[in-house]
């Protein structure tokens, strides 16, 4: 049986010539960076973006796809979101919780309001999955990460992103 070993230029060439898509490219890049003797992989997302050209939002989407396919498990860590505008709301926490309970808002809106109600001053907001996984919000970390990805792909009326996601690092445990 022949073994094919890909180095970084080979992986980049596969993407350049459209032999693989961005998801496959990200998978190969992660595999190339992975320590063969350790199933846990710490990913410095800023270094990953500069080396491989995959931004935080796209990386998160691809990691979530790999998690869905049971190839790995994402271990959420604290991250920072930056709001595109100085958003505020007059809706209370109780109203948001009630609307969610009654099925009047979807997960994306629920996470959006949970974040907004915990925003504080300024545009940058630290977000810890542990904070949102307990009452009153009770948002599972996987749902929070998924919805952060969804919200970060949305734009305001002026074309700016609603939020920009900065993972800084993410930890994964490979299951395969």
* Digit-coded pLDDT (tens) for 36-48: 899 999 999 999 9
Q: pLDDT value at position 30?
A: 95
**pLDDT of 1 strictly over 80:** no
Q: What is the pLDDT of residue 56?
A: 87
Alpha carbon of 174 to those of 23, 38, 62, 170, 171: distances in Å?
16, 9, 14, 13, 10
SS3 content of the chain, % helix, strand, coil (to 5): 45, 15, 40
Please compute the mean of the pLDDT values over residues 24-49 and round it to a whole number.
93
Closest CA to 114 of 98, 144, 131, 137: 137
Q: What is the pLDDT of residues 115-160, one digit of tens each?
A: 999 998 889 999 999 899 999 999 998 899 889 989 998 998 899 9
Average pLDDT over residues 158-173: 90
Instruction: State the angle between helix axes of 22-33 and 8-16 in degrees (0 to 180), rounded to the nearest 10.
Output: 180
Residue 4's pLDDT is 83
Q: What is the pLDDT of residue 39?
A: 93
Report domain extents, the chain: 8-77+169-174, 80-166
| Domain at 8-77+169-174: CATH code | 1.10.10
pLDDT value of position 69 = 94
Reported as a single tens digit per residue, the pLDDT across 80-116 is 999 998 888 899 999 999 999 999 999 999 999 999 9
- pTM, full prediction: 0.80
Looking at residue 106, its pLDDT comes to 96
The answer to whether 152 and 162 have CB atoms below 8 angstroms apart is yes
| Other Cβ atoms within 10 Å of 18 Cβ, number | 7
């Amino acid at each position: 049986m022949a073994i094919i070993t890909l180095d970084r230029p080979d992986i980049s060439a596969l993407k350049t010539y459209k032999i693989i898509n961005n998801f496959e490219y990200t998978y190969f890049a992660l595999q190339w960076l992975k320590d063969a003797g350790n199933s846990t992989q710490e990913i410095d997302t800023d270094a990953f973006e500069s080396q491989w050209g995959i931004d935080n939002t796209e990386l998160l989407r691809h990691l979530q796809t790999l998690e869905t396919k049971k190839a790995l498990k994402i271990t959420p860590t604290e991250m920072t979101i930056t709001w595109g505008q100085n958003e505020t709301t007059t809706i209370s926490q109780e109203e948001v919780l009630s609307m969610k309970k009654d099925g009047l808002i979807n997960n994306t809106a629920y996470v959006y309001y949970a974040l907004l109600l915990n925003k504080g001053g300024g545009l940058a907001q630290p977000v810890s999955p542990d904070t949102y996984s307990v009452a009153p919000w009770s948002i599972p970390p996987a749902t929070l990460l998924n919805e952060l990805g969804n919200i970060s792909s949305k734009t305001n009326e002026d074309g700016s992103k609603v939020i920009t996601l900065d993972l800084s690092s993410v930890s994964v445990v490979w299951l395969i």
